[in-house]
Structure 1
Amino acid sequence: MRRSRFLVFAIMAVMATGIFLVLDGCSSSDGKSASKVMSDSFPVIDEAYSIIQEKAVYPVDGDRLVEGALRGMADVIGDPYSTYLSEEEAATHKESLAGERVGIGAEITRSGGRYIIVSPIKGSPAEKAGLQPYDEIVRINGEALGGLTLQDVIKKIRGKEDTALEMTIYRPDLNKHLELKVMREVIPVKTVSAELMEVRGEKFGYIALTMFGDETADEWKKATDKLIAEDAQALIIDVRGNPGGYLRAVGEVAGSLLKDDSVFAYMQNVKGELTPLVVEPSEKFSFDEKLKKMPVVLLQDKGSASASEVLSGALKDHKRGFIIGQQSFGKGTVQDTTELSNGGEMKLSTHKWLTPKETWIHGKGVKADLESEQEKLFTEHIRFSTDVYKTGDYHDDVAYAQRLLAGLGYSVGRDDGYFDDSTALAVHDFRVAEKVAVDSIMDRKFFTALRETVELYRKDQANDKQLQVAIGYVHHLLTE
């Protein structure tokens, strides 16, 4: 047992040696080789493990100690994008970028210590089973959820395809508990949505990318083919809030817009050596040549990061598109993920990426050609509240409601979370306007109506200030 434990740490140390070789030029500060330093550390690592296992008043599972050591090695690098992922975390990360996942198809949030259904996806197992917004999940497969985190609850809900999930829910409208059976199914994850727009006789396509996942290039191909078939003459690409994803996916999207043999980015290794990433004819896709000549406007904001910035940087440097919105996030590193013997993964920043003009945007972002601030109602995170607030109360939920009411045009004198008389008057006026039971308190019915009103506001493209600026610019391009 002791020998096997030593080997585990030896493997960890060898992996760490690789990290130090990359970061510190193959040597430690006192001139010893990194491998020599780590070899000398084997006994003390094993010693610390034994002491903790044998003497610690708080018992810790051996596997958790190993994982703690792995996390520690990643953390000491000081890079927020280099991290250790446990087997379960690694699976979740892969799932987030996959084209589909198994589940029940419902958004869930934690509010006041309770787990609430925000909304079931249309046609999902959750909707088929009868789950409704504001249903509170009380038990899953007979087990109460007290003391669990939201992530724990989501883990319980996920499982194998075509397996049943027993749920006890409390429905406030009926003031009763219900027992529901939900079948887990494969839920497609769509990363591209598109529509044809027409303004004063000019047709153009609007295409939004929420991330760059496994199926993004295929979705992009289908969406752009359809827009071209519908006679779109220009393209608005929306990557606002897009956190990035796979480099290969953004490479295929960029490749459909740039000339063949164009460099869409550079990879720079620890030695400073540059490797050009070149647009090449795709073996998988044959994109319409009209895409390479079509006027392009790209919408970005502070939430556009990583692979999104690869796209915007390529379009900007090649003068292939006009960028509207805000300066992007500024993530200029690329992570390589290595599977470990315990099922976990080490995610490590191994390269910088540079724009075609060899600019490193890390910590700076890609600057918009035309700055445009978004309406505040589009940047506010919509959340649930099941509590009741009245004049004299003070809470973050009240501040949240004050901000939304002000964004909708109601006169609210403050947004610090204190429920004063002006807030009560605004709440009363909103409830009257939205035909909610007349009162001056914030309760579940108020928060439901507020959420629905804001969602309707957001769906109206006329309220999307940045999009309207982009539409105006595209119209200018097509008519000049």
Structure 2
Amino acid sequence: MEKTEIKTYLVSTLKLFFMVVLAGIVVLAAFIAGVAFQRQRTPVAVTRAPIVFPTPPTITTEEDVPGFNVFWEAWNIVESEFYSDIPDQRERVYGAIRGMVSTYGDEHTAFIDPTRASVLQEDASGAFEGIGAAVRLDELGRLVIAEPFPGRPAAEAGLLRGDVVLEVDGQPLRGLSLYESVALIRGPAGSTVVLTILREGEPEPFKVEVVRARIEIEVVQAEMLEGNVGYVSLSEFSSGASEKLARAIRDLQKQGATSLILDLRNNPGGFLSESVAVASLFLEGGVVVREEGKDPSYKQVYEARGAHVATDIPMVVLINRGSASASEIVAGALKDHGRATIIGEQSFGKGTVQLPHTLSDGSQLRVTIAQWFTPNGNLIQGEGIIPDVVVEMTQEDALEGRDPQLDRAVSFLQGSTQ
């Protein structure tokens, strides 16, 4: 890659980054990949009022970007004076873009190189192969296990909530985006990935071998529990999820359910439209979620609509640190409307919308364009949903097959004072 090509690529990337136009569409980007990766899906069309945005700035040359000449000064000095092997020019360009994007301070606004972008794109085909855990970046930019899902490879290998992943197969994650780190962890079912883990209370980092697996979970599972309590779990907000959930609830009601538990634990999210439809099953009307963009004129309100199948039955919603995005929209809406009691642990806190751009060389740029608020105006991003009744589920509980959160939900609905 010649210097002129490097300039062109950097400038075109900056131009694209600064010229993101919302154009009235909603795109849900995944917050985790094969680590229980929420599949990137083609967005379902959502009707909304026309929105007019100001004309974005046009950036055509590096001279239009203040300080860009300093970049080339630094580039030339390092290239001419560095004592050892110089990295490939393309890798240095990618490093520069990553550095630029990181200054925005948003873990979900990220640059992904072509190789890792192609790995993440495989999720659009419906393949789930990874270690089965929700992950996030902490305030230091480190990859942290937010929630190892019970019965999945991460939990089976002994990974714990709060573990920091320093390396994947010997490759440091420092400087990589959330998506790029996830792409390294992903891989074919049956293959082994070696994670270098930093754990609180341990004097030194240590390695953990995890055998990847295909993660297949039924979208909806339902059963009757003691005391005529209907239980239904929703694993993702994929297309048609609300219809499947509605059928399951009707079946439970036919079986005599007089109260209901909706389990959204470890549900990473999905379609915005499905989250609105799911919340609408339990609400006769009112706001489900508010969406706001950078421009003050960009405000969208989504209200309950469509079928309402269980608007007055006593209800509990279960959430944990693996409940994210669309799960938090539903939990937040039902909490704010006083429709359900939320039991469990504080949710993940993924409340932003990303617009992905495929660049000319196959790399990808994901830009956060909006954020979500609950009906009462509470920010979801970074805050999550706080349960009405906090019940922790420990590693020991999971290993012993205990579920204190579900037990508390059942006792609550049965009127127990425990």
Q: Is the shorter-chain TM-score for this pair beyond 0.5, marking a shared fold? A: yes
Tell me the CA shift for residue 352 of structure 1. 2.2
Which residue of the partner structure matches residue 263 of structure 1?
Answer: 287
1:468 to 407, 411, 415: 407
For residues 132 and 324 of structure 2, the distance between their equivalents in structure 1, rounded to whole angstroms, comes to 24
For residues 476 and 318 of structure 1, the distance between their equivalents in structure 2, rounded to whole angstroms, comes to 21
1:75 to 84, 102, 107: 102
- SS of corresponding position for 2:127: strand
- SS of corresponding position for 1:290: coil
1:14-163 alignment to 2 at 5 Å?
14-18=15-19, 38-39=64-65, 41=67, 44-45=70-71, 49=75, 56=82, 57-95=84-122, 98=124, 100-101=126-127, 157=188
Contact 1:257-1:292 at 8 Å conserved across structures: yes
Contact 2:114-2:362 at 8 Å conserved across structures: yes
Contact 1:212-1:250 at 8 Å conserved across structures: yes
1:444-455 alignment to 2 at 5 Å?
454=399
Indicate how the Cα distance of structure 1 residues 314 and 93 shifts in structure 2: closer, same or farther if over 3 A, else same.
farther
Contact 1:100-1:188 at 8 Å conserved across structures: no
Task: With the length of structure 1 as denominator, give the TM-score of the two structures.
Answer: 0.55
Tell me the CA shift for residue 94 of structure 1. 4.8
For residues 327 and 338 of structure 1, the distance between their equivalents in structure 2, rounded to whole angstroms, comes to 32
Greater length-normalized contact order (CA 8 Å, ≥ 6 residues apart): 2
One-letter amino acid of the structure 2 residue matched with residue 257 of structure 1: F
- SS of corresponding position for 1:327: coil
- SS of corresponding position for 2:108: coil
Tell me the CA shift for residue 101 of structure 1. 0.9
Indicate how the Cα distance of structure 1 residues 222 and 92 shifts in structure 2: closer, same or farther if over 3 A, else same.
farther
Tell me the CA shift for residue 157 of structure 1. 3.3
Tell me the CA shift for residue 320 of structure 1. 1.7
Contact 1:250-1:308 at 8 Å conserved across structures: yes
For residues 331 and 264 of structure 1, the distance between their equivalents in structure 2, rounded to whole angstroms, comes to 16
One-letter amino acid of the structure 1 residue matched with residue 294 of structure 2: V
Tell me the CA shift for residue 471 of structure 1. 0.9
One-letter amino acid of the structure 2 residue matched with residue 277 of structure 1: Y
Indicate how the Cα distance of structure 1 residues 266 and 34 shifts in structure 2: closer, same or farther if over 3 A, else same.
farther
Contact 2:112-2:363 at 8 Å conserved across structures: yes
For residues 146 and 329 of structure 1, the distance between their equivalents in structure 2, rounded to whole angstroms, comes to 27
Larger Cα-atom Rg: 1
1:210-289 alignment to 2 at 5 Å?
211-213=236-238, 216-217=241-242, 219-221=244-246, 223-224=248-249, 226-228=251-253, 230-259=255-284, 262-273=286-297, 274-281=299-306, 287=307, 289=308
Contact 1:5-1:46 at 8 Å conserved across structures: no
For residues 51 and 60 of structure 1, the distance between their equivalents in structure 2, rounded to whole angstroms, comes to 14
For residues 95 and 251 of structure 1, the distance between their equivalents in structure 2, rounded to whole angstroms, comes to 27
Higher helix share: 1
For residues 70 and 221 of structure 1, the distance between their equivalents in structure 2, rounded to whole angstroms, comes to 45
For residues 91 and 15 of structure 2, the distance between their equivalents in structure 1, rounded to whole angstroms, comes to 19
State the Cα RMSD in Å.
4.4
For residues 316 and 333 of structure 2, the distance between their equivalents in structure 1, rounded to whole angstroms, comes to 13
- The reply on whether 1:207 has 2:217 as its aligned counterpart is no
Contact 2:290-2:302 at 8 Å conserved across structures: yes
Gaps of 5+ in 1: 20-24, 109-120, 123-132, 135-144, 159-164, 168-185, 282-286, 380-453
Which residue of the partner structure matches residue 13 of structure 1?
Answer: 14
Question: Structure 1 residues 236-245 or 187-196, which shifts more?
Answer: 187-196
For residues 349 and 226 of structure 2, the distance between their equivalents in structure 1, rounded to whole angstroms, comes to 34
- SS of corresponding position for 1:73: helix
For residues 271 and 466 of structure 1, the distance between their equivalents in structure 2, rounded to whole angstroms, comes to 41
Q: Deviations over 1:62-90 (max 9, x none)?
A: 22122212211111112223222223433
- SS of corresponding position for 1:365: coil
For residues 213 and 64 of structure 1, the distance between their equivalents in structure 2, rounded to whole angstroms, comes to 36
Percent sequence identity is: 26
Which residue of the partner structure matches residue 141 of structure 1?
Answer: none
